[in-house]
C-alpha cells in the first residue's frame, strides 16, 4: 500500500516539471513544448520496458512486480524530465526518438546498475545514493550541460524568459514538492521508521535550502522575491536526495544550507556564460546541487562511516560524471549525424540509379 501511494504521488511531480518549464520559453513555443514533453516520456516508457529496467537493475521484467518496475521508471522519467527543457530548446521530437534510447543505454542504465543493483560495483564498494542524487540528478544535470554546449554550436541561443504566470509556477512547485516526499521515501520500501526519517529530512532540507538562498540573496541585493523562496524549495529537494535516508534532520539542514548557497552562485555564474546555454538552469540546479550535497555529505558523515568511505563516494561521483559526459556526447553526436548519413546514402543511391 505504501509503495502504491509513493507511485501515485510521484506522477503529478513528473508532469509538473513540464508545467514549470513552460514559462522559460516564448509563448509561441509552449504548446509545442508540452506535446514534446509528453512524447519524450512516452518514448522513455517504451524503452524502459524493452531494455531499461533489466539493464538498470540486473533483473528481468518477469522477475519484478509491475509496481516496482513502474516506481523505477518514475526515477528514470524524472531524469528525462529534468533535461527535457534543455533538449527541446533546439532539438525535435524526431531527434528524441534517436537520442533517448541511446542515452538510456549508455548513461542512465549503467549508472543505476552501478549504484542501485544488488551486484552493482559502486554499491558493493560502499558508495551511497539513497534516492537519486547521483543516479538521477547528476546525470540529468551533466546531460543538460553537454546539451547546452552543443546548442550554441548548432543553433545559437535565445533569451531566457522570467516566469510570466506566478500562480501556475507556485502550483507546479507545490506538486513537485508533494511528489518528492514519495520520491525520497520510495527506496525505503515498507520500512515505516525509515520513511518517517526521509519525510523529516526532506522538510529540514527544504527549510535549510530556503534559509541559505534567502541569506545569500539578501546579502547581495537587500531584498527577497518569491522566486528566491521557490528556488530554495527546489534546491532543497535536489540536495536532500543523496543522504535523506542516512543522516539526522540537523545534518540534513546543514548540508542544505551550505549546498544551496553554492548552487545559487553556480546559477548566477551560468547565466553569464557564453560557452553553453541551459534554458531552465538544469545543470546548476540538478548537477550543481547534487554534487555540492554529495561533497557536504562526505565531509559531515565520514566520521560515522568506515575508513575510506569518503574516497569511495568521491570515486562514485567521478565515475557517474564521466559516464554521463561521455555517454551524452556519443548520444548527441549519433542523433545529429545519423540522419545525415542515411540521407547521404539515399542521395548517393539515387544518383547511381
pLDDT at 345: 59
pLDDT tens for 206-247 read 999 999 999 999 999 999 998 899 999 999 999 999 999 999
In angstroms, the CA 126 to CA 145 distance is: 28
Q: Write out pLDDT tens, residues 28-63.
A: 777 888 888 999 999 999 999 999 999 999 888 887
Task: Mark out the alpha helices in 272-308 (DSSP H runs).
Answer: 282, 289-301
The full set of domains in the chain, from first to last, is 2-346 (1.10.3430.10)
Residue with cell 534516492: 131
- Neighbour-count burial for 307-341, b at 16+ CB within 10 Å, e otherwise: eebbebbeebbebbbebbbebbeebbebbbeeeee
Could you report the per-residue pLDDT of 276-297, keeping only the tens digit for each?
Answer: 777 788 999 999 999 999 999 9
Whether residue 341 is predicted with pLDDT greater than 60 in this model: the reply is yes
More confident of the two residues 36 and 346: 36
Q: What is the pLDDT of residue 34?
A: 86
Q: What was the pLDDT predicted at 300?
A: 92
The model scores a pTM over 0.85: yes
Amino acid at each position: 500500500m505504501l509503495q502504491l501511494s509513493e507511485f501515485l504521488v510521484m506522477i503529478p511531480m513528473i508532469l509538473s516539471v513540464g508545467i514549470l518549464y513552460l514559462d522559460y520559453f516564448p509563448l509561441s513555443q509552449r504548446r509545442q513544448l508540452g506535446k514534446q514533453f509528453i512524447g519524450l516520456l512516452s518514448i522513455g516508457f517504451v524503452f524502459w520496458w524493452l531494455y531499461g529496467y533489466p539493464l538498470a537493475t540486473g533483473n528481468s521484467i518477469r522477475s519484478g512486480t509491475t509496481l516496482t518496475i513502474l516506481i523505477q521508471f518514475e526515477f528514470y522519467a524524472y531524469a528525462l524530465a529534468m533535461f527535457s527543457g534543455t533538449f527541446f530548446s533546439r532539438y525535435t521530437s524526431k531527434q528524441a526518438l534517436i537520442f533517448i534510447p541511446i542515452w538510456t543505454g549508455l548513461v542512465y542504465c549503467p549508472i543505476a546498475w552501478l549504484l542501485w543493483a544488488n551486484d552493482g560495483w559502486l554499491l558493493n564498494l560502499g558508495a551511497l545514493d539513497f534516492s537519486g542524487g547521483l543516479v538521477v540528478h547528476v546525470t540529468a544535470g551533466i546531460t543538460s550541460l553537454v546539451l547546452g554546449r552543443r546548442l550554441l554550436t548548432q543553433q545559437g541561443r535565445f533569451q531566457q524568459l522570467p516566469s510570466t504566470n506566478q500562480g501556475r509556477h507556485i502550483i507546479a512547485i507545490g506538486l513537485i514538492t508533494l511528489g518528492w516526499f514519495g520520491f525520497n521515501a520510495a527506496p525505503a520500501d515498507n520500512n515505516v521508521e525509515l520513511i518517517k526519517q526521509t519525510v523529516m529530512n526532506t522538510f529540514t532540507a527544504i527549510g535549510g535550502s530556503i534559509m541559505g538562498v534567502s541569506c545569500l540573496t539578501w546579502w547581495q541585493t537587500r531584498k527577497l522575491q518569491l522566486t528566491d523562496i521557490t528556488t530554495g524549495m527546489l534546491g532543497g529537494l535536489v540536495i536532500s536526495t543523496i543522504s535523506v535516508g542516512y543522516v539526522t534532520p540537523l545534518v540534513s539542514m546543514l548540508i542544505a544550507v551550505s549546498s544551496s548557497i553554492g548552487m545559487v552562485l553556480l546559477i548566477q555564474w551560468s547565466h553569464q556564460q557564453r560557452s553553453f546555454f541551459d534554458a531552465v538552469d538544469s545543470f546548476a540546479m540538478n548537477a550543481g546541487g547534487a554534487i555540492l550535497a554529495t561533497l557536504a555529505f562526505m565531509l559531515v558523515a565520514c566520521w560515522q562511516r568506515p575508513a575510506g568511505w569518503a574516497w569511495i563516494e568521491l570515486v562514485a561521483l567521478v565515475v557517474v560524471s564521466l559516464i554521463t559526459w561521455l555517454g551524452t556526447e556519443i548520444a548527441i553526436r549519433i542523433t545529429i549525424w545519423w540522419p545525415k548519413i542515411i540521407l547521404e546514402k539515399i542521395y548517393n543511391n539515387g544518383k547511381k540509379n
